A and B are shown apart, each in its own frame.
Chain A
Amino acid sequence: MPEFNWPESDRRWRIGKHRTRVDGPDKSCGAAEFTYDVKLFGMLYARMLPCPHARARVISVDTSAAEAMKGVHAVRVIQGPGTEIKWAADDIVAVAAETEEIAGDAVNAIKVDYEVLEHFVFEEHLDKAPEVNPAQEQTTGEPAQAFSDAKAQSEGYYGCGVVSHACHESHGHVAHWTDEEHLTVFSSTQAVTGLVGQFSEALEIPAANVRIICQNMGGGFGSKFSADRWGIECARLARQTKRPVKLMLERGPELQIAGGRPSTFARVKTAVDADGNLTGWDSKSWGTGGPSGTGSPPLPYVFEVPNRKHQHSSVPANIGPSRAWRAPNHPQACFVTMTALEDMAATIEMDPLDFFLKNISLTGVRAESYAEELKLGAQMMGWKRKWKPRGQNGDGPVKRGLGLSLHTWGGRGHQSNCEVLIHPDGSAEARVASQDLGTGTRTVIATVLAETFGLRVRDVTVRIGDSRFPASGASGGSTTVGGVSSSTRRGAINALEILLQKVAPELGVAPEELEAVRGRIRVKASPNRYLTWKQATGQLGVNPISAAGSNPGPGKLIDSGVAGIQMADVSVDIETGITKINKMVAIQDCGLIIDMLTAKSQVYGALTMGISYALCEERIMDPVTGRLLNDDMEFYKLPGIGDIGDLIVHMMTGPGYDERGVIGLGEPPVISPGAAISNAVANAIGVRVPYLPLTPDRVLEALEKGGAA
């Protein structure tokens, strides 16, 4: 059996290099087809009628006018009389029609009577919540003792509201019945393989009859694992009309019903001893993720304060249900923890960098990485040169400040299967039923395949995004890069093994004495004895080599657990409350990096997303109707290029990192920006703005209160 490992650093010609994304040109020039672009012959368009109330009971639904409209092919009541609707914009009726406009008109013609019920959408006001579900208190050590022995204590209130996923490409599908029993669905999904069962179960057809296709998709961030009720309705409309049907959410519903990140509010107390060692933590937190509340964020985050107490209450609210949002619960936990610790550092008049380093052993197994990353980050930020105590940096209305934060994530590769083909003409191909969320999955697979075969990346073909390929896990939790790189590596090593056996006799050596390097199969000991790759594959005869690779599998190719630190340099105009990002530094490890440019791009994207939720993104709920008021891209604010400042990304590589194998990177860098930026703002203006996003009204309010929040 061959050995399954990654090449040593001096034998990596493809892995770890800066490579432009293999699908970059297609995406840049518009050639890449997204689900939104799919247009099939005879295709109908579906729209759904959203409920205008945050909480209501459906009394009656009259679809007669819609059904009578020319061009309307099917009307399906999704939630009929008697149903209690628990969030605004929840879907009531679905319509399929010849055009989007007719479908829209038909939806407008449907009459629904509701009994409007009391709603609750402001979970920050815990005392007004009709229902609060407190979880059991978790206590470690002797927190009460730690606080009574403390040299100093710090107390604060921190909160971050619900944000929507706001995917560029909205949720949706195109359903096409190729005959009465066979369904093909084009989906904007993070789970090509996983959707098969969801559609087959709901449509009551064998899973073998369902095919899911997703060649490209415009962002998921954790919100696209499900077929969703609208996906199933889309397939039902297609079955009923015997026509392909496309149902993509419009922007308004997308922001309301297609996922959000739960809110977290917390009152936190911390304690230190005379040397500045963290000794005590006490937090009471609450939050909502919609009608079923939300789980507890991991508090305190990363720092295992020896004596700690935490209680979290889940608050059901009438807002669209939460979905996994890039690093579920971590950004909130990180924000609450790192801001509380920075407040403590300010209380004891210590530079937070020194305070974090002093307590770094509390971070556990990754402590050394954190320390190394903090020191490196400090150099890249010029921290020691630039940092000043709170509120002392700037003479005019614009104050400058620095903040930092750190984070962790698992990121172990998911289950993945790969079929690797070596064709007699020399072309090589990997097939995996994975998906590219825009993160570089194709590039990763191509790089691994090319490295293993000693070929150029452009010489190999990657096929993903089709459930007919070998099953692979959903892309969530930063599990894809580990999953597909290891299954591809194993499949490629297995395929190469077969090829080497085939050509070894001609080169007069045993197969294990051969290697595939630079487009050749050559004898390791005498590199001048070789066959070109094409000469070698030319000996295969008619059939290609087909070999499988899986994860998990033999050999250590992947690992789990990363550390990362981020620092922010901001300017805050204390007359307007407006915060500008000057610079952010992100230092991140993720084991062996398959492609450096792809990895860095992940971090740039995460910083941008983090700046977005730190400064402007939030769901603004209407007290009157309970509806989302900013259900458009005008007031659901996202930053533009001029808002994100100078982003500096450094990836930790080399000894201590590379030999761990591949670890996921999607989530970790999005965790810290909120905390780092909030800390930088507090450092700039001298008071804590307790709430994310850091909008001008909140900054001015905090300044007015002088930090007494």
Chain B
Amino acid sequence: MNRFQYASPVTKESAVELLGSGAVVLAGGTDLLSLMKADVASPDLVVNIKEIAELKGLEHSEGSGLRIGALVTIDELLQDSRVQEEYPSLIQAADGIRSAQIRSVGTVAGDLCQRPRCWYYRHGYGLLAMQNGSSMVVDGDNRYHAILGNGGPAYFVNPSSFAPSLIALGASLKVSGPNGEKEISVADFFQTPQSEAEKEYKLSDSEIVTQILVPAAGGKANATYEIREKEALDWPLAAAAVSLVMQGDQVESAKVVLGHVAPVPWNSDEAAAALKGKAVSASVADDAGKAAVQQAKALSRNKFKIQLARVAVKRAILRAAGMEV
């Protein structure tokens, strides 16, 4: 492990001043430490933001909804009674993180900023894992890799548990940087890198996520459904989050976002369109699931994920409509 400097500022302004090329942000550290131990991340400076009081806390307000500070842990979110009431989708996503340790120190914002779990990336072959001009993922074992948005060169899947749900709920992020504060929708935060120089999210080395803003649910039915092999801690093979605006028993509008199937959280307009104007039923939900994976393309080892993504969408819709199987 490379030697690095460590700083522990108490304001976000001083944190931003410290950040820059070669610096990393330490919050829960559940991902950063493993990246550093594996020599995948070798920062010169680690900036601990846990002492910054204004990044703590979770607030509800009638007009603007839910504000999740960057230091709010997964456990804090899980235990919030209003989140439980209004955003079952977030609770279900948090419940999928089956590690008491990660829940107690890992943060919701950190979940968005964690790096992909692609085993080529984690073994030091780079985010795009190119070797001699060809993708190791395509030539290698890609059972856990992307089925959507996988035209290359990125084939990893976005690992975030909360992103699909936050995008479906229309959430945005507050980001502090040298030029002050800006707001960016969670959907726009993520990107598919086109070269090794790019990251999978739009956060420069001198910026930090300070808050997550989730609009008031306003009676929107919302749910997340994850498909994991194990009950114990395990990465989902596919996940889907939905948010439904209902008009009587019909869907007026829908947001359907898939997780763990593409280099970014995958917003499916096709699935949303399949729901619009319909009353939710098993067959309507299944149609939406089919629509969500219409464009999916299997790599050599991950055809099964197409089926899983379809089922995740179907079951998330049924769960949101209170019709869980």
Contact A637 B141 (CB under 8 A): no
- Partner-B contacts on A (CB < 8 A): 101, 104-105, 108, 396-397, 575-578, 615-616, 620-625, 627, 629-630, 632, 634-635, 637-643, 695-697, 700-701
Number of cross-chain contacts by CB at 8 Å = 84
Subset of 6 A-B contacts with CB under 8 Å: A575-B307, A620-B141, A627-B123, A634-B235, A640-B231, A696-B304
B residues less than 8 Å from A632 (CB atoms): 122
* CA–CA, A639 and B231, complex, Å: 8
Quick one: closest B residue to A102, CB to CB? B1
Does B119 contact A635, Cβ atoms closer than 8 Å?
yes
- Chain A residue numbers with a CB within 8 Å of B77 are none
**Inter-chain contact B231/A642, CB cutoff 8 Å:** yes
Q: 0/1 per residue, B204-238, Cβ < 8 Å to A?
A: 00000000000000000000000111111111010
The 0/1 profile, CB within 8 Å of A marked 1, for residues 158-171 of chain B is 00000000000000
The 8 closest A-B pairs by CB, nearest first: A640-B232, A642-B231, A697-B304, A624-B140, A629-B119, A575-B311, A700-B304, A643-B231
Q: CB of B143 within 8 A of chain A? A: yes
Beyond the given A635-B144, A696-B227, A697-B302, please list 7 additional residue pairs across the A-B interface where CB-CB is below 8 A: A104-B1, A578-B227, A632-B122, A640-B233, A696-B304, A697-B304, A700-B304
Contact A629–B232 (Cβ < 8 Å): no
Residue in B123, B136, B141, B229 whose CB lies within 8 Å of A695:
B229
Interface pair B304/A578, CB less than 8 Å apart: no
The reply to whether the CB of B179 lies closer than 8 angstroms to some CB of chain A is no
| Closest CB in chain A relative to B6 CB, distance in Å | 14
Chain B contact-residue range equals 20 to 34
- Inter-chain CA distance A623–B140, complex, in Å, is 5
Tell yes or no: B271 within 8 A of A by CB: no
Q: Contact: B229 with A616, CB < 8 Å?
A: yes
Are the C-beta atoms of B119 and A700 separated by less than 8 Å?
A: no
CB distance from A580 to the nearest CB of B (A): 8
Closest Cβ–Cβ distance, residue B292 to chain A (whole Å):
14
**Which of the residues A108, A397, A621, A637 comes within 8 Å of B325, measured between beta carbons?**
A397
Task: Give CA–CA (A108, B117) in the complex, Å.
Answer: 23
Q: How far is the CA of A578 from the CA of B231 in the complex (A)?
A: 11
Is B39 interfacial (CB 8 A cutoff)?
yes
Question: Is B85 among interface residues, defined by CB-CB distance under 8 A?
Answer: no
In the bound complex, how far is the Cα of B136 from the Cα of A627, in angstroms? 12
B62 within 8 Å of A (CB atoms) = no
Asked if B230 contacts A640 (CB within 8 A), the reply is: yes
Once the chains bind, are A616 and B117 in contact (CB under 8 Å)? Answer: no
Residue B97 CB within 8 A of the other chain: no
Instruction: Give A630 to B235 CA distance when docked, in angstroms.
Output: 13
Please name the residue on chain B nearest to A579 by beta carbon: B229
The reply to whether A630 and B311 contact each other, CB–CB distance below 8 Å, is no
Q: Is the CB of B232 within 8 A of A696?
A: no
Q: How far apart are A460's CB and chain B's nearest CB, in angstroms?
A: 38
User: Knowing A629-B119, A640-B232 touch, does A577 contact B304 (C-beta < 8 A)?
Assistant: yes
B91 interface contact, C-beta 8 A: no
Q: Which residues of B contact A643 (CB under 8 A)?
A: 230-232
Q: A397-B325, A700-B304 are in contact. Are A634 and B117 (CB under 8 A)?
A: yes
Minimal Cβ-Cβ distance residue in B for A577: B304
Distance between Cα atoms of A104 and B37 in the complex (Å): 10
Is B131 an interface residue when CB atoms closer than 8 A count as contact? yes
A640 to chain B, nearest CB (A): 2
Chain A residue with the shortest CB-CB distance to B311: A575
Decide if B139 touches A105 in the complex (CB within 8 Å). Answer: no
B320 shortest CB reach to chain A, Å: 18
Q: Contact between A630 and B119 (Cβ–Cβ < 8 Å)?
A: yes
Q: Digitize B1-33: 1 where CB-to-A-CB distance is under 8 Å, 0 elsewhere.
A: 110000000000000000000000000000000
B143 contacts which chain A residues (CB < 8 A)?
620, 697
Q: How far is the CB of B97 from chain A (nearest CB, A)?
A: 13
A700 contacts across to B, CB distance below 8 A:
304, 307
The docked-state distance in angstroms from the alpha carbon of A641 to that of B230 is: 10
Task: Verify B131–A624 contact, CB threshold 8 A.
Answer: yes
Interface string of B126-161 (1 = CB under 8 A from A): 000001000010011101100000000000000000
Alpha-carbon distance between A31 and B18 when the two chains are bound, in angstroms: 43
Q: Which of A105, A616, A621 contacts B1 (CB 8 A)?
A: A105
Chain A residues near B2: list those with CB within 8 A.
Answer: 105
A696-B308, A700-B304 known; A576-B227 Cβ under 8 A: yes
Scan residues 231-250 of chain B and give those whose CB is less than 8 A from a CB of chain A. 231-235, 237
B98 within 8 A of A: yes
Which residue in chain B gives the minimum CB-CB distance to A695? B229
Distance from A692 Cβ to chain B, minimum over Cβ atoms (Å): 14
Q: What residue of chain B has the Cβ atom nearest to residue A635's Cβ?
A: B119
Complex CA distance for A391 and B119, rounded to whole angstroms: 36
**Chain B's nearest CB lies how many Å from the CB of A635?**
6
A638 surroundings in chain B (CB, below 8 A): 232
Report the minimum CB–CB distance from A646 to chain B (whole Å). 14
Q: How far is the CA of A624 from the CA of B131 in the complex (A)?
A: 10
**A570 CB → nearest B CB, Å:** 14
Asked whether B140 lies within 8 Å of A616 as measured between CB atoms, the reply is no
Q: How near does chain A come to B192, taking the closest CB pair, in angstroms? A: 22
Residues of B contacting A101 with CB < 8 Å?
Answer: 1
A534 to B: closest C-beta gap in Å: 49
Q: Which residues of chain A come closer than 8 Å to B230, judged between CB atoms? A: 616, 637, 639-640, 642-643
